[in-house]
Structure 1
Amino acid sequence: MLAMQQRLARRFYMILSLPATAMGFALSVQISALSWILTTQYGLDIHEVGLVWAAGPIAGILGQVIVGIISDNVWFWNGRRRPFILIGGVLAGMMLLALPNIDIVSSSLGLSGLLGVAIAVALTLDLSINVSFNPTRSIIADVTPEGEERTKGYTWMQTVSGSFGVLAYAIGAVWGNYVLIYFGAALVLVLSIIPPFFITEPKSLTLDHNPKFESFGLAAILMNIKPLWGFLIYDIYAMGLQISGIKTEHYWAEIIAAIVTLGLIIQTVLAKEQEGQPTNQTGFAKVLAAHSFSWVGVQTMFVFIFAFLQDKMPGIDDDQLGKIIAMSFLVLSAIAAFFPALVLEPIAKRIGRVKVHTYCIASMAVSYFLVVLFGESKVALYVIMALLGIGWSSIISLPFAIMSEKVEQSRMGLYMGLFNLSVVLPQLLVSLGVGLFVSKIADKSLVFQISAISLALSAIVWTQVKEGK
């Protein structure tokens, strides 16, 4: 073990953050360029873009949970998380290179349709990101003690990752998305291959669970994600419709899924958290419920901001549209890069992580309503994106620290995978359900109205999460 890791020096926290930074950069490229390149280069419509984005959450549902379970229980290449970081990083770099060449890949395979190839590339890209994202986050919990040091680990993760995210959107805004994609492929390979060899993982994780409950099967997984059942039911239903080609003119399934989700969320919120147990199942469920609403709003913005801008700024061409989107996410990421370690962590020490996160989520809900009112102006859009960055900085840092202290440390990979379901199931809902609504509604400000309501609900649920140590 290197001396910097023994001392938990700041330099170690920065190196510890680099694998997550690689995957974050790959995700930034995907957010900035995927919808743009599919609509402008390949001519897909809004509904088809939503289908391509649906491939990623499907990969996340399988990838994060499976990799989490496996990485908790294996040891090779002198690591538990390291092998998956290396494999996922290489795959992510290769898929980024394929992204602007979907037509070439399609023709070389002798295929006539671009949609299937686009889904395959997006699925492999997101699967590779998910293969690595779980271990890059779990390894922080593995090598840091509970409390302030772990909070520091996750806030520094976002600060370093966010700084590179700023670089990503700056490249896209100045030189365009094609330069961003090729630069991103090289950076992802470097940051996912080299840093893991400077981190020494513990060969044995603390066994703080009851041996009686060693088995963790499908039933146990489903009970742990009970607040997400409504999302899961609707996602299965909507995906079945897409695969079968069945068209419906009613919204009974959406209404039923919404009622089920709200009922389970209310039940979860009203439950009392357990204390003095290795796994605070109710506390973990509350975090899932609160985080899921956050991601409904955030993902709606990520996927369909291009539709909002095309509607509100009809005079811009495709190149301008790409640069406005890149600049918007540049501003968002600039705030998110510096807030976690420099602002959120010091405040969290004073008033608690949950309370800080709740305030940040509430500010994001207000900011989304401001986009609806003033988003037609580029300057106003960039200013509001800066305000949204406050909430975004918290979403991708503090919930990991909050969640990690409500679960068994020896099963961190598993629970990190289950926690990711509060991200990918809402993402799939956005792609399959929200995308359908957005494509049928003339006024695309609906995009940010949905985002605002979702973040407001998230803030309400976060008020019922109990502060940890």
Structure 2
Amino acid sequence: MEKRRLSFWQIWNMSFGFLGIQFGFALQGGFMSRIFQTLGANVDDIPGLWIAAPLTGLLVQPIVGYLSDNTWSPKFGRRKPFFLIGAILASITLFFMPHSPVLWVAAGLLWVLDSSINISMEPFRALVADKLPESQRSNGFVIQTLIIGIGTWIASNLPWLVTKLGVSNEAAAGVIPQSVVVAFSIGAFVFLISILYTIFTTKEDPPVDLAQFKLEKKESRFIPDLVESFKEMPSTMKKLGLIQFFSWFAFFTMWSLSTPALTEHVFKSPKPTNQEYARLDEQGEVLKDDANQVVFLNSAKAAEYKQKDKEFNDAADLVGSATGVYGLSSMAFALLLTFYTTKNKINRKYIHMGSLLIGGLGFIYMYYATPSTLMYSFIMIGFAWGSILSMPYAMLSSAVNPRKMGMMMGLFNMFIVIPQIIAALGGINFFYKLIGEEHINAMILAGISLLIASLCNFLITDKQAISG
């Protein structure tokens, strides 16, 4: 039975929770590396500290997808309970994250944060396929991308904005600036409110055959269903998985290393290390006083550290703002596609291929960028990001069993998290150092990865998946 077509505002309401999800992702992606550096992490150790994020997705998303496939409540629906649980946990974690006293606490909270975001996120993907007919799915995923772009731009600019409003972005050595603390608190509030908006404005449809649904739910078992879903994975899903592999390797590289790479190479303001300015004990560790403050060699060194740290924090704010530009351009990309896909079909394959190509060139241009031209890199990257968040899911939704949409969306996430795990376990450091030792070469690596992802689109041949 063909699902009824929904209006723009009905699709907007059911997708609005992604604003909060993207606030969480943008703050995590734009500022976690800054937090790690502030708490004493070396740059080459940062990707490893990020490993919690993809590992959590690998474990959480198939389980959440399976549970939401097998959930139905006349009062709460199928996907909405998972939106709410994830939102509550993520909002609490966002609030406490910038108060982390030491590095291991921040790394642990990143684990909790990413788990919570994942609980909310994949059910949102499945909701589009649940409620929209085939003819509106491209439009539905594009509207999600539009909202994601808005969230990315606003959240990425939050520390810069609150600094402009008078909140300090300076702090003592090893202390996270107040501007970041306030930005994460705002993010926590927006995350919860936007999810609640979707919950209260969107009604989920019951299974077409409720008796059959209850029978299948009674007979379902996670491990056998997981194995069966692996066996049923269509070839189009596997080919899309290869595209996703190189796409998400690129973006994980950006999230984990863009702040140190760009503050160093573009703004010439690297994070000063405490060891250069402070007194050290016999083991080479930085000495701290009774108030847990760094003991500097002398007042001149303390003043020099403070000045260089201010320059780094100013540069990091500007990198965050520049990063937010890719949210704006992905929003523009989504807005154009929203108008077009409302009444027309598109070739998802070639749109995705071209967008990834543009994004790859944007990463490579970072090597030549100046503070005033860096935004052009992120404008180009935004086209890739907008497409990554919509076209693969639109193609996937046309190629898999609709009764297992949540499980399949969860399994599809493997092709997102596995490259991130490989990157975090040393893949980034190994491959970018083949190009050169400077951290900016990690952005070159990200560009090459996106170009490979673009070419992999030639593998997609399923006409139903391509046209929509």
TM-score bracket for the superposition, by shorter chain length: 0.7 to 0.9
- 2:240 aligned with 1:287: yes
What letter matches 1:369 in structure 2?
I
Alignment match, 1:267? none
What letter matches 1:341 in structure 2?
L
Alignment match, 1:319? 313
* CA pair 8-351 structure 1, distance change in 2 beyond 3 A: closer
- CA deviations over 1:392-436 (Å, ceiling 9, x no partner): 111112211111111010101001101111111111122112344
* CA pair 96-225 structure 1, distance change in 2 beyond 3 A: same
Deviation at 1:442, TM superposition (A): 2.5
Question: More helix by proportion, 1 or 2?
Answer: 1
Give the whole-Å Cα distance in 1 for the aligned partners of 2:115 and 2:379.
Answer: 30
Pick the aligned partner of 2:26 from 25, 28, 38. 28
* CA pair 381-134 structure 1, distance change in 2 beyond 3 A: same
Alignment match, 2:114? 126
CA contact (8 A) 2:48 2:424 kept: yes
Q: Kindly report which structure 2 residues correspond to 1:18-417, keeping only aligned pairs within 5 A, or say none.
A: 18-40=16-38, 42-76=39-73, 77-103=75-101, 114-147=102-135, 149-175=136-162, 176-204=179-207, 221=226, 281-312=234-265, 313-315=267-269, 317-343=311-337, 346=340, 349=344, 351-372=346-367, 374-375=368-369, 377-417=370-410
* CA pair 8-223 structure 1, distance change in 2 beyond 3 A: closer
* CA pair 45-384 structure 1, distance change in 2 beyond 3 A: same
CA contact (8 A) 2:360 2:450 kept: yes
CA contact (8 A) 2:248 2:420 kept: yes
- CA deviations over 1:44-93 (Å, ceiling 9, x no partner): 22244223211011110111110001110112352110111000000000
SS class of match (1:378): coil
What letter matches 2:65 in structure 1?
G
* CA pair 318-20 structure 1, distance change in 2 beyond 3 A: same
- 2:377 aligned with 1:423: no
Deviation at 1:390, TM superposition (A): 1.1
CA contact (8 A) 1:300 1:434 kept: no
What letter matches 2:155 in structure 1?
A
Deviation at 1:219, TM superposition (A): 7.9
What letter matches 2:362 in structure 1?
S
**Size of the alignment, in residue pairs?**
395
CA contact (8 A) 2:146 2:335 kept: yes
Deviation at 1:217, TM superposition (A): 6.3
What letter matches 2:312 in structure 1?
D
CA contact (8 A) 2:30 2:259 kept: no
* CA pair 7-442 structure 1, distance change in 2 beyond 3 A: closer
CA contact (8 A) 2:46 2:257 kept: no
Deviation at 1:371, TM superposition (A): 1.7
CA contact (8 A) 1:162 1:336 kept: yes
Give the whole-Å Cα distance in 2 for the aligned partners of 1:387 and 1:82.
Answer: 34
What letter matches 2:348 in structure 1?
R
Q: CA RMSD, aligned part only?
A: 2.6
Deviation at 1:326, TM superposition (A): 1.1
Structure number with greater Rg is 2
What letter matches 1:314 in structure 2?
K
Give the whole-Å Cα distance in 2 for the aligned partners of 1:225 and 1:345.
Answer: 36
In structure 1, list runs of 5 or more residues that go unmatched: 104-113, 227-278
CA contact (8 A) 1:89 1:192 kept: yes
Give the whole-Å Cα distance in 1 for the aligned partners of 2:427 and 2:42.
Answer: 15
Percent same amino acid among aligned pairs? Answer: 26
